[in-house]
Amino acid sequence: MIRHVILGAGVAGITAAEAIRASDQTADITIVSEDPHGFYSRPGLAYYLSGELPEKQLYVYSKEDWQRLNVRFVQARATRLLPQEHRLELGEAGALIYDRLLLATGSTAVRLNIPGAELQGVVKLDTFDDTRHIFTLARRARSAVVVGGGIIAVELVEGLRAQGLNVHYFLRGERYWPNVLDEKESRLVEKRLAEHGINLHYHTDAAEILEKRGKVAGVRTAKGENIRCEIVAAGIGVRPRMELAQAAGLATERGILVDEYLQTSQADIFAAGDAAQVFDPLTGISSIDTLWYPARQQGRAAAQNMTGGRQPFRRNVAVNVLRLAGVMIAIIGSVGTGEEPLDVARGSSETWRRLPNTIAVGSGGGVNQVRLTIGEQTLLGAVVMGEQTLARPLQELISNQVDITPVRDQLLQPSMPLGQVLMDFWYTTSGKPS
Protein backbone atom coordinates (compact mmCIF):
# COMPACT_ATOMS: atom_id res chain seq x y z
CA MET A 1 0.00 0.00 0.00
CA ILE A 2 1.45 3.36 -1.07
CA ARG A 3 1.36 6.10 1.54
CA HIS A 4 0.39 9.45 0.02
CA VAL A 5 0.64 12.58 2.16
CA ILE A 6 -0.83 15.83 0.86
CA LEU A 7 0.15 19.02 2.67
CA GLY A 8 -2.62 21.53 2.08
CA ALA A 9 -6.41 21.28 1.89
CA GLY A 10 -6.98 23.77 -0.91
CA VAL A 11 -8.22 23.00 -4.41
CA ALA A 12 -4.89 21.55 -5.61
CA GLY A 13 -4.58 19.21 -2.64
CA ILE A 14 -8.18 18.02 -2.68
CA THR A 15 -8.16 17.49 -6.45
CA ALA A 16 -4.99 15.43 -6.07
CA ALA A 17 -6.66 13.31 -3.37
CA GLU A 18 -9.65 12.73 -5.66
CA ALA A 19 -7.42 11.65 -8.53
CA ILE A 20 -5.31 9.35 -6.35
CA ARG A 21 -8.43 7.68 -4.96
CA ALA A 22 -9.87 7.24 -8.45
CA SER A 23 -6.65 5.57 -9.54
CA ASP A 24 -6.09 3.43 -6.45
CA GLN A 25 -8.91 2.41 -4.11
CA THR A 26 -6.42 0.92 -1.63
CA ALA A 27 -4.05 3.90 -1.39
CA ASP A 28 -3.42 5.37 2.05
CA ILE A 29 -4.11 9.12 1.74
CA THR A 30 -3.51 11.66 4.49
CA ILE A 31 -4.31 15.35 4.10
CA VAL A 32 -2.56 17.72 6.48
CA SER A 33 -3.75 21.30 7.00
CA GLU A 34 -3.34 23.81 9.78
CA ASP A 35 -6.60 25.48 8.74
CA PRO A 36 -9.27 24.03 11.04
CA HIS A 37 -12.01 24.62 8.46
CA GLY A 38 -10.65 22.16 5.92
CA PHE A 39 -11.62 22.55 2.27
CA TYR A 40 -13.61 25.66 1.38
CA SER A 41 -13.77 28.17 -1.44
CA ARG A 42 -11.23 30.89 -0.83
CA PRO A 43 -12.49 32.89 -3.85
CA GLY A 44 -15.91 32.77 -2.20
CA LEU A 45 -14.70 34.61 0.92
CA ALA A 46 -15.21 37.98 -0.79
CA TYR A 47 -18.88 37.18 -1.39
CA TYR A 48 -19.22 35.88 2.16
CA LEU A 49 -17.82 39.19 3.44
CA SER A 50 -20.23 41.19 1.27
CA GLY A 51 -23.18 39.16 2.57
CA GLU A 52 -24.02 37.63 -0.82
CA LEU A 53 -22.93 34.09 -0.01
CA PRO A 54 -24.04 32.21 3.11
CA GLU A 55 -21.37 30.44 5.12
CA LYS A 56 -22.56 26.94 4.25
CA GLN A 57 -22.05 27.56 0.54
CA LEU A 58 -18.34 28.12 1.07
CA TYR A 59 -17.92 24.42 1.70
CA VAL A 60 -17.49 22.46 -1.50
CA TYR A 61 -17.58 19.03 0.13
CA SER A 62 -20.43 17.38 2.02
CA LYS A 63 -20.00 14.79 4.74
CA GLU A 64 -20.84 12.11 2.18
CA ASP A 65 -18.17 13.44 -0.20
CA TRP A 66 -15.54 13.10 2.52
CA GLN A 67 -16.68 9.57 3.26
CA ARG A 68 -16.41 8.59 -0.40
CA LEU A 69 -12.95 10.12 -0.63
CA ASN A 70 -11.83 7.99 2.31
CA VAL A 71 -8.87 10.06 3.49
CA ARG A 72 -7.43 10.82 6.88
CA PHE A 73 -7.50 14.51 7.74
CA VAL A 74 -4.91 15.82 10.19
CA GLN A 75 -5.17 19.35 11.50
CA ALA A 76 -1.61 20.33 12.26
CA ARG A 77 1.17 22.65 11.23
CA ALA A 78 4.05 21.02 9.40
CA THR A 79 7.24 22.06 11.17
CA ARG A 80 9.95 20.17 9.30
CA LEU A 81 10.40 18.08 6.18
CA LEU A 82 13.13 15.44 6.05
CA PRO A 83 13.25 14.21 2.42
CA GLN A 84 15.94 11.59 2.94
CA GLU A 85 13.85 9.98 5.67
CA HIS A 86 10.54 10.47 3.86
CA ARG A 87 9.34 12.10 7.05
CA LEU A 88 7.06 15.08 7.64
CA GLU A 89 7.13 16.41 11.19
CA LEU A 90 3.98 18.00 12.62
CA GLY A 91 5.13 19.41 15.95
CA GLU A 92 3.00 18.18 18.83
CA ALA A 93 0.90 16.12 16.37
CA GLY A 94 3.85 13.82 15.75
CA ALA A 95 5.15 12.87 12.32
CA LEU A 96 4.10 11.13 9.12
CA ILE A 97 6.13 8.78 6.95
CA TYR A 98 5.28 8.99 3.27
CA ASP A 99 6.07 7.24 0.00
CA ARG A 100 4.84 10.21 -2.04
CA LEU A 101 4.39 13.75 -0.76
CA LEU A 102 2.50 16.59 -2.43
CA LEU A 103 3.24 20.14 -1.32
CA ALA A 104 0.00 22.02 -1.99
CA THR A 105 0.76 24.71 0.57
CA GLY A 106 -0.78 27.54 -1.40
CA SER A 107 -0.02 31.20 -0.85
CA THR A 108 -0.43 33.68 1.93
CA ALA A 109 -1.32 37.36 1.89
CA VAL A 110 1.54 39.82 1.96
CA ARG A 111 1.43 41.88 5.13
CA LEU A 112 1.92 45.60 5.42
CA ASN A 113 5.43 46.64 6.34
CA ILE A 114 4.90 50.01 8.00
CA PRO A 115 4.86 51.17 11.63
CA GLY A 116 1.71 49.97 13.36
CA ALA A 117 1.13 47.00 11.04
CA GLU A 118 0.81 44.63 14.02
CA LEU A 119 -1.95 46.59 15.73
CA GLN A 120 -5.35 45.08 16.41
CA GLY A 121 -7.57 46.12 13.53
CA VAL A 122 -5.09 45.47 10.70
CA VAL A 123 -6.69 42.75 8.57
CA LYS A 124 -6.34 40.70 5.39
CA LEU A 125 -8.75 38.56 3.35
CA ASP A 126 -6.95 35.26 3.13
CA THR A 127 -8.72 32.61 5.19
CA PHE A 128 -12.11 31.83 6.69
CA ASP A 129 -10.89 33.00 10.09
CA ASP A 130 -9.69 36.29 8.55
CA THR A 131 -13.22 36.91 7.30
CA ARG A 132 -14.81 36.13 10.63
CA HIS A 133 -12.33 38.46 12.31
CA ILE A 134 -13.35 41.27 9.95
CA PHE A 135 -17.00 40.68 10.83
CA THR A 136 -16.18 41.01 14.53
CA LEU A 137 -14.18 44.22 14.09
CA ALA A 138 -16.76 45.77 11.76
CA ARG A 139 -19.47 45.59 14.42
CA ARG A 140 -17.59 48.18 16.51
CA ALA A 141 -16.02 50.21 13.70
CA ARG A 142 -17.18 53.24 11.75
CA SER A 143 -14.43 53.71 9.17
CA ALA A 144 -11.84 51.62 7.33
CA VAL A 145 -8.83 52.24 5.11
CA VAL A 146 -7.97 49.77 2.32
CA VAL A 147 -4.58 49.68 0.62
CA GLY A 148 -3.67 47.65 -2.46
CA GLY A 149 -4.08 47.79 -6.19
CA GLY A 150 -5.59 44.53 -7.39
CA ILE A 151 -8.60 42.27 -7.05
CA ILE A 152 -8.36 41.49 -3.34
CA ALA A 153 -8.19 45.20 -2.45
CA VAL A 154 -11.47 45.95 -4.23
CA GLU A 155 -13.06 42.87 -2.67
CA LEU A 156 -12.09 44.26 0.73
CA VAL A 157 -13.42 47.69 -0.22
CA GLU A 158 -16.78 46.26 -1.27
CA GLY A 159 -17.01 43.87 1.67
CA LEU A 160 -16.28 46.54 4.28
CA ARG A 161 -18.72 48.91 2.63
CA ALA A 162 -21.36 46.15 2.75
CA GLN A 163 -20.75 46.00 6.50
CA GLY A 164 -21.84 49.64 6.73
CA LEU A 165 -18.41 51.23 7.14
CA ASN A 166 -17.17 54.47 5.66
CA VAL A 167 -14.37 53.20 3.41
CA HIS A 168 -11.27 55.06 2.22
CA TYR A 169 -9.43 53.39 -0.65
CA PHE A 170 -5.77 54.34 -1.17
CA LEU A 171 -4.56 54.14 -4.78
CA ARG A 172 -0.80 54.47 -5.11
CA GLY A 173 -0.95 55.85 -8.64
CA GLU A 174 -3.32 57.87 -10.74
CA ARG A 175 -5.75 55.01 -11.46
CA TYR A 176 -6.81 51.51 -10.49
CA TRP A 177 -4.85 48.38 -11.58
CA PRO A 178 -2.91 50.00 -14.45
CA ASN A 179 -0.87 46.87 -15.24
CA VAL A 180 -3.98 44.99 -16.33
CA LEU A 181 -6.72 47.50 -17.15
CA ASP A 182 -6.50 50.37 -19.59
CA GLU A 183 -7.51 53.84 -18.49
CA LYS A 184 -11.12 53.54 -19.63
CA GLU A 185 -11.55 50.26 -17.76
CA SER A 186 -9.91 51.64 -14.63
CA ARG A 187 -12.12 54.72 -14.65
CA LEU A 188 -15.22 52.59 -15.04
CA VAL A 189 -14.34 50.60 -11.90
CA GLU A 190 -13.46 53.78 -10.00
CA LYS A 191 -16.73 55.44 -11.04
CA ARG A 192 -18.73 52.48 -9.78
CA LEU A 193 -16.84 52.47 -6.48
CA ALA A 194 -17.50 56.18 -6.02
CA GLU A 195 -21.20 55.61 -6.73
CA HIS A 196 -21.18 53.05 -3.92
CA GLY A 197 -19.89 55.68 -1.51
CA ILE A 198 -16.19 54.76 -1.53
CA ASN A 199 -13.70 57.57 -0.84
CA LEU A 200 -10.94 57.24 -3.45
CA HIS A 201 -7.52 58.70 -2.60
CA TYR A 202 -5.17 58.89 -5.60
CA HIS A 203 -1.36 59.04 -5.33
CA THR A 204 -1.69 58.00 -1.71
CA ASP A 205 0.49 55.66 0.35
CA ALA A 206 0.01 54.62 3.96
CA ALA A 207 3.11 55.64 5.92
CA GLU A 208 2.06 54.75 9.46
CA ILE A 209 -0.89 53.19 11.26
CA LEU A 210 -1.86 55.27 14.26
CA GLU A 211 -2.49 53.66 17.62
CA LYS A 212 -4.80 54.11 20.57
CA ARG A 213 -4.58 51.55 23.38
CA GLY A 214 -3.07 48.93 21.11
CA LYS A 215 -5.73 49.30 18.45
CA VAL A 216 -5.92 51.03 15.09
CA ALA A 217 -6.95 54.66 15.44
CA GLY A 218 -6.12 55.96 11.99
CA VAL A 219 -3.62 56.13 9.15
CA ARG A 220 -1.00 58.76 8.41
CA THR A 221 -0.31 59.03 4.69
CA ALA A 222 3.05 59.70 3.07
CA LYS A 223 1.74 63.23 2.35
CA GLY A 224 1.19 63.82 6.05
CA GLU A 225 -2.61 63.55 6.07
CA ASN A 226 -4.26 61.77 9.00
CA ILE A 227 -7.39 59.70 8.32
CA ARG A 228 -9.30 58.31 11.27
CA CYS A 229 -10.36 54.67 11.10
CA GLU A 230 -10.64 51.55 13.22
CA ILE A 231 -9.76 49.02 10.50
CA VAL A 232 -6.88 48.92 8.03
CA ALA A 233 -7.24 46.24 5.35
CA ALA A 234 -4.37 45.19 3.10
CA GLY A 235 -4.79 43.62 -0.33
CA ILE A 236 -1.25 44.04 -1.61
CA GLY A 237 -0.65 40.61 -3.10
CA VAL A 238 0.28 37.10 -2.04
CA ARG A 239 3.45 35.06 -1.80
CA PRO A 240 3.91 31.29 -2.15
CA ARG A 241 4.21 29.33 1.08
CA MET A 242 7.51 27.60 0.45
CA GLU A 243 9.43 28.02 3.72
CA LEU A 244 9.14 24.31 4.54
CA ALA A 245 10.49 23.35 1.11
CA GLN A 246 13.35 25.84 1.38
CA ALA A 247 14.38 24.57 4.81
CA ALA A 248 14.33 21.00 3.47
CA GLY A 249 16.75 21.93 0.69
CA LEU A 250 14.31 21.69 -2.23
CA ALA A 251 15.01 23.89 -5.22
CA THR A 252 13.08 27.15 -5.07
CA GLU A 253 13.01 30.55 -6.77
CA ARG A 254 9.82 32.59 -6.55
CA GLY A 255 8.02 29.34 -5.73
CA ILE A 256 8.82 25.65 -5.32
CA LEU A 257 10.51 24.65 -8.56
CA VAL A 258 8.93 21.68 -10.33
CA ASP A 259 9.33 20.16 -13.76
CA GLU A 260 6.50 19.63 -16.25
CA TYR A 261 5.45 16.56 -14.25
CA LEU A 262 5.08 18.64 -11.05
CA GLN A 263 8.08 16.84 -9.53
CA THR A 264 10.42 18.81 -7.27
CA SER A 265 14.18 18.38 -6.98
CA GLN A 266 13.38 15.37 -4.75
CA ALA A 267 12.01 12.42 -6.72
CA ASP A 268 9.18 11.49 -4.31
CA ILE A 269 8.03 15.04 -3.58
CA PHE A 270 5.66 16.94 -5.86
CA ALA A 271 4.16 20.44 -5.69
CA ALA A 272 1.00 21.97 -7.15
CA GLY A 273 -1.11 25.10 -6.86
CA ASP A 274 -0.11 28.58 -5.75
CA ALA A 275 3.23 27.43 -4.29
CA ALA A 276 4.46 25.64 -7.43
CA GLN A 277 6.68 27.33 -10.00
CA VAL A 278 6.06 25.07 -12.97
CA PHE A 279 8.43 24.58 -15.91
CA ASP A 280 6.89 24.87 -19.36
CA PRO A 281 9.02 23.05 -21.97
CA LEU A 282 7.32 24.96 -24.80
CA THR A 283 8.57 28.33 -23.56
CA GLY A 284 11.48 27.28 -21.35
CA ILE A 285 10.01 29.43 -18.57
CA SER A 286 8.98 28.45 -15.03
CA SER A 287 5.82 30.27 -13.96
CA ILE A 288 3.49 30.61 -11.00
CA ASP A 289 -0.28 30.62 -11.45
CA THR A 290 -2.59 31.71 -8.67
CA LEU A 291 -5.91 30.85 -10.23
CA TRP A 292 -8.39 28.20 -9.11
CA TYR A 293 -8.61 26.28 -12.40
CA PRO A 294 -4.85 25.82 -12.99
CA ALA A 295 -4.56 24.64 -9.38
CA ARG A 296 -7.13 21.93 -10.12
CA GLN A 297 -5.28 20.91 -13.27
CA GLN A 298 -1.96 20.78 -11.46
CA GLY A 299 -3.40 18.77 -8.58
CA ARG A 300 -4.81 16.22 -11.02
CA ALA A 301 -1.57 15.94 -13.02
CA ALA A 302 0.54 15.63 -9.85
CA ALA A 303 -1.70 12.82 -8.58
CA GLN A 304 -1.34 10.86 -11.81
CA ASN A 305 2.43 11.12 -11.56
CA MET A 306 2.42 10.21 -7.87
CA THR A 307 0.55 6.99 -8.73
CA GLY A 308 3.02 5.88 -11.39
CA GLY A 309 1.76 7.70 -14.45
CA ARG A 310 3.61 10.16 -16.67
CA GLN A 311 1.25 13.10 -17.15
CA PRO A 312 2.79 16.47 -18.03
CA PHE A 313 1.05 19.65 -16.99
CA ARG A 314 0.40 21.92 -19.94
CA ARG A 315 -0.20 25.54 -19.06
CA ASN A 316 -3.27 26.93 -20.81
CA VAL A 317 -4.19 30.51 -21.57
CA ALA A 318 -5.00 32.26 -18.30
CA VAL A 319 -8.70 32.98 -17.85
CA ASN A 320 -10.07 34.88 -14.87
CA VAL A 321 -13.74 35.76 -14.47
CA LEU A 322 -14.42 38.14 -11.61
CA ARG A 323 -16.61 40.94 -10.43
CA LEU A 324 -15.23 44.37 -9.60
CA ALA A 325 -17.50 47.10 -8.25
CA GLY A 326 -20.50 45.14 -9.43
CA VAL A 327 -19.18 44.72 -12.98
CA MET A 328 -18.51 41.25 -14.37
CA ILE A 329 -15.11 41.09 -16.05
CA ALA A 330 -13.44 38.29 -18.01
CA ILE A 331 -9.67 38.63 -18.40
CA ILE A 332 -8.25 36.23 -20.98
CA GLY A 333 -4.60 35.77 -21.91
CA SER A 334 -2.18 38.67 -22.32
CA VAL A 335 -3.93 41.93 -21.62
CA GLY A 336 -1.68 44.10 -19.45
CA THR A 337 0.20 47.20 -20.45
CA GLY A 338 3.61 45.68 -19.80
CA GLU A 339 4.88 49.05 -18.59
CA GLU A 340 6.01 47.70 -15.22
CA PRO A 341 6.06 44.30 -13.46
CA LEU A 342 2.76 42.92 -12.24
CA ASP A 343 2.71 41.70 -8.65
CA VAL A 344 1.63 38.06 -8.33
CA ALA A 345 -1.75 38.10 -6.62
CA ARG A 346 -4.53 35.60 -6.02
CA GLY A 347 -6.55 35.77 -9.32
CA SER A 348 -3.70 37.02 -11.52
CA SER A 349 -1.40 35.33 -13.99
CA GLU A 350 2.20 35.91 -14.87
CA THR A 351 1.26 35.76 -18.54
CA TRP A 352 0.63 39.47 -18.16
CA ARG A 353 4.29 40.12 -17.33
CA ARG A 354 5.63 39.15 -20.73
CA LEU A 355 3.82 41.04 -23.47
CA PRO A 356 4.93 41.37 -27.10
CA ASN A 357 4.45 44.56 -29.03
CA THR A 358 0.77 44.33 -29.86
CA ILE A 359 -2.17 46.51 -30.72
CA ALA A 360 -4.98 46.96 -28.23
CA VAL A 361 -8.38 47.85 -29.59
CA GLY A 362 -11.59 48.53 -27.73
CA SER A 363 -15.27 48.49 -28.47
CA GLY A 364 -18.42 49.40 -26.62
CA GLY A 365 -19.48 52.04 -24.16
CA GLY A 366 -20.72 52.35 -20.61
CA VAL A 367 -20.31 49.19 -18.60
CA ASN A 368 -20.33 46.87 -21.61
CA GLN A 369 -17.08 46.93 -23.52
CA VAL A 370 -14.43 44.67 -25.03
CA ARG A 371 -10.70 45.18 -25.46
CA LEU A 372 -8.51 42.91 -27.56
CA THR A 373 -4.76 42.45 -27.69
CA ILE A 374 -3.99 41.51 -31.27
CA GLY A 375 -0.87 39.79 -32.57
CA GLU A 376 0.22 39.37 -36.15
CA GLN A 377 -1.88 36.26 -36.72
CA THR A 378 -3.69 35.48 -33.47
CA LEU A 379 -5.55 37.11 -30.64
CA LEU A 380 -3.31 37.23 -27.59
CA GLY A 381 -5.75 38.51 -24.98
CA ALA A 382 -9.06 40.14 -24.21
CA VAL A 383 -10.90 42.03 -21.50
CA VAL A 384 -14.69 41.66 -21.57
CA MET A 385 -16.54 43.98 -19.19
CA GLY A 386 -20.24 43.80 -18.41
CA GLU A 387 -22.14 41.63 -20.92
CA GLN A 388 -20.24 38.32 -21.20
CA THR A 389 -21.59 36.96 -24.49
CA LEU A 390 -18.19 37.30 -26.18
CA ALA A 391 -16.18 35.76 -23.33
CA ARG A 392 -16.48 32.13 -24.41
CA PRO A 393 -15.83 32.73 -28.14
CA LEU A 394 -12.79 34.86 -27.28
CA GLN A 395 -11.48 32.24 -24.87
CA GLU A 396 -11.68 29.59 -27.58
CA LEU A 397 -10.11 31.79 -30.24
CA ILE A 398 -7.23 32.75 -27.94
CA SER A 399 -6.69 29.32 -26.37
CA ASN A 400 -6.72 27.54 -29.73
CA GLN A 401 -4.51 30.20 -31.35
CA VAL A 402 -6.92 30.49 -34.25
CA ASP A 403 -5.49 32.35 -37.26
CA ILE A 404 -7.40 35.65 -37.38
CA THR A 405 -5.82 36.86 -40.62
CA PRO A 406 -9.18 36.79 -42.46
CA VAL A 407 -10.69 39.34 -40.05
CA ARG A 408 -7.64 41.11 -38.60
CA ASP A 409 -8.10 44.27 -40.66
CA GLN A 410 -11.77 44.44 -39.70
CA LEU A 411 -10.92 44.16 -36.00
CA LEU A 412 -8.61 47.15 -36.32
CA GLN A 413 -11.21 49.39 -37.95
CA PRO A 414 -12.97 51.60 -35.38
CA SER A 415 -16.14 51.72 -37.45
CA MET A 416 -16.62 47.93 -37.57
CA PRO A 417 -19.09 46.25 -35.18
CA LEU A 418 -16.47 44.35 -33.20
CA GLY A 419 -18.88 41.99 -31.50
CA GLN A 420 -20.57 40.90 -34.70
CA VAL A 421 -17.27 40.39 -36.51
CA LEU A 422 -15.98 38.20 -33.68
CA MET A 423 -19.16 36.15 -33.35
CA ASP A 424 -19.41 35.52 -37.11
CA PHE A 425 -15.74 34.51 -37.25
CA TRP A 426 -16.11 32.23 -34.23
CA TYR A 427 -19.14 30.49 -35.74
CA THR A 428 -17.22 29.99 -38.98
CA THR A 429 -14.04 28.60 -37.40
CA SER A 430 -15.70 26.51 -34.71
CA GLY A 431 -18.26 24.87 -36.94
CA LYS A 432 -21.05 25.93 -34.61
CA PRO A 433 -24.43 26.87 -36.15
CA SER A 434 -24.96 30.63 -36.32
* pLDDT tens digit sequence for 297-319: 999 999 999 999 999 999 888 89
Is 251 within 8 Å of 265 (Cβ atoms)? Answer: yes
- Whole-angstrom CA distances from 126 to 109, 234, 354 are 6, 10, 27
CA distance 148 to 159: 14
Contact 68, 44 (CB under 8 A): no
- What are the tens digits of pLDDT across the range 78-109? 999 999 999 999 999 999 999 999 999 999 99
Q: Domain map of the chain by residue range? A: 3-108+238-306, 122-234, 319-430
- 192-212: b (≥16 Cβ within 10 Å) or e: bbeeeebebbeebebeebbbe
Residue pair 320/160 in contact by the 8 Å Cβ criterion: no
What's the CA gap between 338 and 174, in Å, rounded? 17
Per-residue pLDDT at 63: 87
As a whole number of angstroms, the distance between CA 385 and CA 137 comes to: 33
What pLDDT was estimated at residue 352? Answer: 44
**pLDDT in the model for residue 337:** 55
* pLDDT for res 353: 40
| Predicted local confidence at residue 414, as pLDDT | 81
Q: What is the pLDDT of residues 136-156, one digit of tens each?
A: 999 999 999 999 998 999 999
Residues of the chain with pLDDT under 70: 336-365, 432-434
**Residue 144 and residue 169 in contact, taking contact as beta carbons nearer than 8 Å:** no
> What does the pLDDT read at residue 206?
98
How high is the pLDDT of residue 364? Answer: 66
* Domain with residues 122-234, CATH architecture: 3-Layer(bba) Sandwich (3.50)
pLDDT at 123: 98
Contact of 150 with 227, CB cutoff 8 Å = no
User: Was domain 319-430 assigned CATH 3.40.50.460?
Assistant: no
Classify burial at 424, counting beta carbons within 10 Å of its beta carbon; exposed 0-12, middle 13-18, buried 19 or more: middle
Same fold: 3-108+238-306 with 122-234: yes
Q: Which CATH architecture group holds 3-108+238-306?
A: 3-Layer(bba) Sandwich (3.50)
Q: What is the pLDDT of residue 341?
A: 34
d(CA 279, CA 26): 31
